[in-house]
Amino acid sequence: MSSSSSVPDYLRDENLTQKTKDLISSLPSEKGWLVCQMYQFQGRWHTQALLKGILTCQKQFEAKDSDIILVTNPKSGTTWLKALVFALINRHKFPVYSSSSGEHPLLVTNPHSLVPFLEGVYYESPDFDFSQLSSPRLMNTHISHLSLPESVKSSPCKIVYCCRKPKDMFVSLWHFGKKLAPEETADYPIEKAVEAFCQGKFIGGPFWDHVLEYWYASLENPNKVLFVSYEELKKKTGDTIKRIAEFLGCGFVGEEEVRAIVKLCSFESLSSLEVNREGKLPSGMETRAFFRKGEVGGWRDTLTESLAEVIDRTIEEKFQGSGLKFSC
Ligand code: PAP
């Protein structure tokens, strides 16, 4: 990747200790799309940098009972979920429905700067002290259920998982890559990217294992893992917020508050804010990269019918018998 692009550090392959380098050199490795090289660790494909973040997180992160961890596959609604849950749990501190909503942090700060990304933070600052965050701590991760730090699995902390229809997720990632690294991705054929996606060789992939692990975890332990979807959030945002609030034990959330949260966190509202049009994250990444179309079924303007069928066949095969359905 060119050093002039706005690709965040955690997608780069730099700044590793000898110990991490030794471990990484023992792992299966392949050239990836968007990233130079990917490594398979605990069944998932990662960049060296994200892997370093995951290893540090596994070693150092100590979950607290009151923690809330938002989990997604990349491009499955992370930004939106961060905004919604931040607004929800901080609604007393930062009212969303009164005139003071003019001072709401979400109006002046990108959701990624309000909710720390575990493995990204651990990559950039391995000694970051998460205990300094105010309670309840709200964080997000793309780490698979299998690779979560032990304390997250064993503590009563809460996990909210958001999944998205794979074709929209793929297309979102495809455009994100083009925006982030236009020079590196210009000549990369979409057919090859679809092939890699369907072989599971994408950042954090296979995507189906990621989704299914959390899906089954939510069925086995519904008090610990709440499973929601991007599509459900689109169709019934208010009802889904109420479901999340109930799961998190947030107490009563009035209809007016729910409506105000829906509005504040809507694609139209967030994407039109200056901080999300012109801003940059500390990593240098432009915040507008997180807002494109925000639609369900938007894959149609990017994927041909035959490429869509390739993904559909993979979905059919991998999710068979799980009870999860991804129509259209
Ligand atoms: P991340 O995993 O890298 O943080 P994430 O936020 O999951 O990215 O993905 C961005 C997608 O969410 C974009 O989808 P698109 O490419 O299909 O358009 C983006 O537009 C969408 N998105 C961001 N904010 C919102 C929102 N408030 N409501 C609905 N969709 C949103």
Convert the pLDDT of each residue in 53-77 to its tens digit. Answer: 999 999 999 999 999 999 999 999 9
Q: What is the CA radius of gyration of the chain?
A: 19
Rounded to 10 degrees, what is the CA torsion of 200, 202, 203, 204? -10
Nearest atom, ligand 1, residue 112 CA: 4
The whole-angstrom separation of Cα 71 and Cα 259 is 24
User: What is the per-residue pLDDT for 3?
Assistant: 39
The closest residue, in CA terms, to atom 9 on ligand 1 is 75
Distances in Å between the alpha carbon of 143 and those of 140, 149, 300? Answer: 9, 9, 29
Question: Would you say the CB of residue 111 lies under 6 angstroms from ligand 1?
Answer: no
Question: Would you say the CB of residue 300 lies under 6 angstroms from ligand 1?
Answer: no
CATH architecture, domain 9-318: 3-Layer(aba) Sandwich (3.40)
List pLDDT tens digits, range 148-170.
999 999 999 999 999 999 999 99
Nearest atom, ligand 1, residue 76 CA: 7
Question: Would you say the CB of residue 264 lies under 6 angstroms from ligand 1?
Answer: no
User: What is the per-residue pLDDT for 18?
Assistant: 79
The whole-angstrom separation of Cα 18 and Cα 116 is 26
Question: Would you say the CB of residue 79 lies under 6 angstroms from ligand 1?
Answer: yes
Exposure letters 268-286 (e unless 16+ CB within 10 A, then b): eebbebebbeebebebebb
CB atoms within 10 A of CB 298: 17
Question: Would you say the CB of residue 291 lies under 6 angstroms from ligand 1?
Answer: yes
User: What is the per-residue pLDDT for 272?
Assistant: 97
- Tell me, in angstroms, the distance from the centre of ligand 1 to residue 154's CA: 30
Long-range contacts of 280-285 (CB under 8 A, 24+ apart): 280/6, 281/8, 281/110, 281/112, 281/113, 282/113, 283/8, 283/9, 283/10, 283/120, 283/124, 284/6, 284/8, 285/6, 285/7, 285/8, 285/180
List pLDDT tens digits, range 188-214.
899 999 999 999 988 889 999 999 999
User: What is the per-residue pLDDT for 31?
Assistant: 82
Catalytic residue of the set 142, 145, 175, 210: 142
Question: Would you say the CB of residue 292 lies under 6 angstroms from ligand 1?
Answer: yes
- Tell me, in angstroms, the distance from the centre of ligand 1 to residue 175's CA: 11
List pLDDT tens digits, range 19-45.
777 888 899 998 877 766 889 999 999
The closest residue, in CA terms, to atom 14 on ligand 1 is 294
Residue 26 is given by DSSP the state: T
Nearest atom, ligand 1, residue 269 CA: 27
Question: Would you say the CB of residue 265 lies under 6 angstroms from ligand 1?
Answer: yes
Question: Would you say the CB of residue 72 lies under 6 angstroms from ligand 1?
Answer: yes
Nearest atom, ligand 1, residue 290 CA: 10
Query: Is 46 a catalytic site residue?
Result: no
List pLDDT tens digits, range 233-292.
999 999 999 999 999 999 889 999 999 999 999 999 999 999 999 999 988 889 999 999
Confidence of residue 7 (pLDDT cuts 50, 70, 90): low
- Tell me, in angstroms, the distance from the centre of ligand 1 to residue 294's CA: 6
